[in-house]
Structure 1
């Protein structure tokens, strides 16, 4: 059994489904929730967590994006297009979320043995392959040049990226996060991020190498698989695979009572960081 599959076979999975909360669920809450759950899982006060979340029209910036020379112009453009924006706590660069993008977080405990960063990425990659094994065997993991937030674990089919993975570690809890472009136009999403960077850079030289985005290298799973895929039926695939991997029935929950004060603490930290980093 591969190390990634061993990581996925947790004794128990706690599931938090926040995929249908709608516009009243801002993205800034998600990163505080994941940090809270990392602490609970890392301290042994919670089983491993699988969380699903969807946010309306939001661009999530990476820490490097706040160094863009004309960031205010880029943020003004996003606002004009009807997008909110926040800076996340995990790595990477700008990504676009909307109602057709399903985000998944797997949170593992680092117990006796630390979890190598690639092992965490491999676990999410294997999970996504298992979720869609009945319709494709073409999902690959390598950097898609010209995509937004490029990385060595971009997930693609026939060279077109539909997902990206990041990681966050808090108090011996490891959160592996992925955004899955399920429905809609991947190239239209990429065109918005391309224009954001063009507005934010204005052809000035930058120390950070920001991606030269080619919208044609990005697509949604619906476009790539040509099947009737929705966020809801993708969630069903996610839950079915988790259940196969678990020895026990899935535990469904929101935050436990003892986690609420921790969430308040992490939420304040995310808000403070955003107030510090963002000019608008």
Structure 2
């Protein structure tokens, strides 16, 4: 039995499922939604929230990626492969999102004495609980030759299937994880390997970009020999949230939250335009 992190032990969860909104659901809207929820959770007007989201054929770049020496050619390459490109407002580097990748945000209040690592640890704990009937082999450590490598990469037998980032807004924290559920982890990694080759062309750079080995990445189905769908994992998340709290609310964004969303969405659009302004 996996241990449950204290941040997960709450009297209610607010569950927002945006995993089936389709290809027109823009990733910028996702990050603005998490910002709005973090504000509400942080001020106590919303319980701890969990949001599920899927974006079709989207590459989410980190801010350092936008500074690659030949980023214009890199973005053109990704677009030629059929991907939309945005720059996110949380930490990290480029990741691949498609219909086989389920994203989960857990939005916690920033409690006194709780540091940034607690949010990451809580997400790791949740994923352990989520799949405890399938495996006890999920480990959290940096897979250095993956894309967007970080201390809280999740892997099985050295192959990464998930990465975690965190964004703090006012008194709330949005901890975001992507889960490669279906498809080929190596093919996603090869796409970004090619992107970095095109965008860097072997030049020396101040920032150290990953030297990606597609062989160190895989989907959960590949690793576990399962045939789970994104919808299956969505159902698991909902059941686990109920197990942890005993109470689920599904209130959509409204009132002041929608105002905060609109404001954050506009900021995201402007920030992306600035980050990518030299690419056209």
Measured against the shorter chain, the TM-score band is: over 0.9
Cα distance in 2 between the residues matched to 1:231 and 1:115: 32
Maintained 8 Å contact 2:4/2:126: no
| Partner of residue 256, structure 1 | 254
Q: How does 1:56-95 map to 2 (within 5 A)?
A: 56-95=56-95
Give 1:253 deviation, angstroms.
2.5
Give 1:11 deviation, angstroms.
1.8
Maintained 8 Å contact 1:4/1:120: no
1:135 alignment partner, SS class: coil
2:207 alignment partner, SS class: coil
Cα distance in 1 between the residues matched to 2:273 and 2:80: 20
Q: How does 1:113-262 map to 2 (within 5 A)?
A: 113-246=112-245, 248-262=246-260
| Partner of residue 54, structure 1 | 54
Give unpaired runs (5+ residues) of structure 2: none
Structure 1 residues 57-82: Cα deviation after superposition (integer angstroms, max 9, x where no partner)? 00000011111000000000000000
| Partner of residue 37, structure 1 | 37
Cα distance in 2 between the residues matched to 1:114 and 1:104: 25
1:60 alignment partner, SS class: strand
Cα distance in 1 between the residues matched to 2:137 and 2:17: 28
Maintained 8 Å contact 1:149/1:211: yes
Name which of structure 1's ranges 166-175 and 4-13 shifts more when overlaid on structure 2.
4-13
Provide the alpha-carbon RMSD of the alignment: 1.2
Give 1:3 deviation, angstroms.
9.4
Cα distance in 2 between the residues matched to 1:162 and 1:254: 30
Structure 1 residues 212-248: Cα deviation after superposition (integer angstroms, max 9, x where no partner)? 00000000001000012110000111111111110x4
Maintained 8 Å contact 1:4/1:122: no
| Partner of residue 267, structure 2 | 269
Maintained 8 Å contact 1:34/1:175: yes
Maintained 8 Å contact 1:74/1:200: yes
Cα distance in 2 between the residues matched to 1:238 and 1:21: 18
Give 1:4 deviation, angstroms.
6.2
Give 1:256 deviation, angstroms.
2.1
Give 1:185 deviation, angstroms.
0.1
Structure 1 residues 140-171: Cα deviation after superposition (integer angstroms, max 9, x where no partner)? 00001210000011000000000000000001
Maintained 8 Å contact 1:243/1:249: yes
Give 1:25 deviation, angstroms.
0.5
